[in-house]
Amino acid sequence: MSLAETNAYDAPLVLGTHTLSSRLIVGTGKYDTLELMQQSLEASGSECVTVAVRRERLYDPTGRNLLDYIDFHRYTLLPNTAGCYNARDAVRTAKLGREILLGLENPGADWVKLEVLADTKTLLPDPVETVLACEQLVELGFQVLCYTTDDPVIAKRLKEVGATAVMPAGSPIGSGQGILNPNNIRICLEYLKGEDPDYPVIVDAGVGTASDVAFAMELGVDGVLLNTAIAHAKDPVRMAHSMRHATEAGRLAFQSGRIPRRLYASASSPEDGVIGRTRHQ
């Protein structure tokens, strides 16, 4: 099934004022080369890519900039606040990211992927600072896509303070462990979408391979955001293709309504008319 055919079955992903036909959002970090990143973004079919805000290197002999390798007229950039460990730094970083995107005239200037981390070992989000930063960024007019743990209570709080989308982690960033607690994701979905079915929930982080993505989508999340699983695969471009298919496969499966699990078998061929068979009870 081609991308166009798949999309005929599905509505686009709506995140605040942004509409994306692909439900896969990919990161731009950790690639061996910028060329490989470029090809992988293309293969992923994604229309939205995350970027980080960092100090300009003042003595770069090559002078190469990420922005020379991303067509910012084609992709909506989603600047993150990665590396921030408190609300104050996250808000500063978000403002700087917005300023750059305004200069690029990229539609991503009005949103941010909020990420406020607790420590460098787990890279788990600090829930208190995350809620605080989310509230402040919403007041500053940002559409906040909020990275968080899979805790349903914090997820609810983030929605209450105005997050445009809540993005629970499947497992720690870059860990490749997949969706460690699907029941928490299910409760997040119930809490956030129960009376507001269009509210977007995206699994962000922890994905290791295509089946993790398909599984997340089958749970009923609206999209998946990933980076390392593609960038550090042995063949990133091939993995990017697989992630695109997995996103579509999982989404279609969710919409199709899977069969219930049964303990015993249920024959697919007719029971009647079988020749010369002794029936065993």
Partner 1 sequence: MKIRINEEERDVPAGSTIADVIETLSLNPKFIAVEVNLELIPRDEHASHQLTDGDQLEVVTLVGGG
Amino acid residing at 176: G
Contact 133, 152 (CB under 8 A): no
Q: Which are the contacts of 212, defined by CB distance < 8 A and separation ≥ 6?
A: 170, 178, 179, 206, 229
Cross-strand pairs, 77: 49
Looking at 105-201, which runs of residues are DSSP E strands?
111-114, 143-148, 165-168
Cα 125 from Cα 62, distance rounded (Å): 35
20, two tokens: 């994306």
Between residue 197 and residue 226, which ones bind partner 1 under the rule CB under 8 A?
A: 205, 225-226
Lookup: tokens for 184: 């928490």
Stretch that binds partner 1, among 52-60, 152-160, 184-192, 256-264 (CB under 8 A): 52-60
Taking the complex as a whole, how short is the minimal distance between the CB of residue 205 and partner 1, in angstroms?
Answer: 8
Stated as kind and residue range, the H or E segment containing 243 is: helix 236-256
Tell me the per-residue interface mask from 7 to 46 with partner 1, x by CB under 8 A, - otherwise.
--------------------xxxxx-----x---------
Sign of the C-alpha dihedral, residues 77, 83, 84, 89? negative
Which of 20, 38, 85, 95 is close enough to bind partner 1 by CB under 8 A? Answer: 95
Q: Which of 1, 19, 54, 183 touches partner 1 (CB under 8 A)? A: 54
Residues tagged active-site: 113
Instruction: Name which position in 136, 148, 227, 242 contacts partner 1 (CB under 8 A).
Output: 227
Task: Count Cβ atoms below 10 Å from residue 222 Cβ, excluding itself.
Answer: 23
Q: How far is the CB of 275 from partner 1 (least distance, A)?
A: 60
104 touches partner 1 by CB under 8 A: yes
Q: How far is the CB of 279 from partner 1 (least distance, A)?
A: 58
Q: How far is the CB of 172 from partner 1 (least distance, A)?
A: 12
Residues that bind partner 1 (CB under 8 A): 27-31, 37, 50-56, 58, 63, 65-67, 77, 79-80, 82, 92, 95-97, 99-100, 102-104, 173-174, 205, 225-228
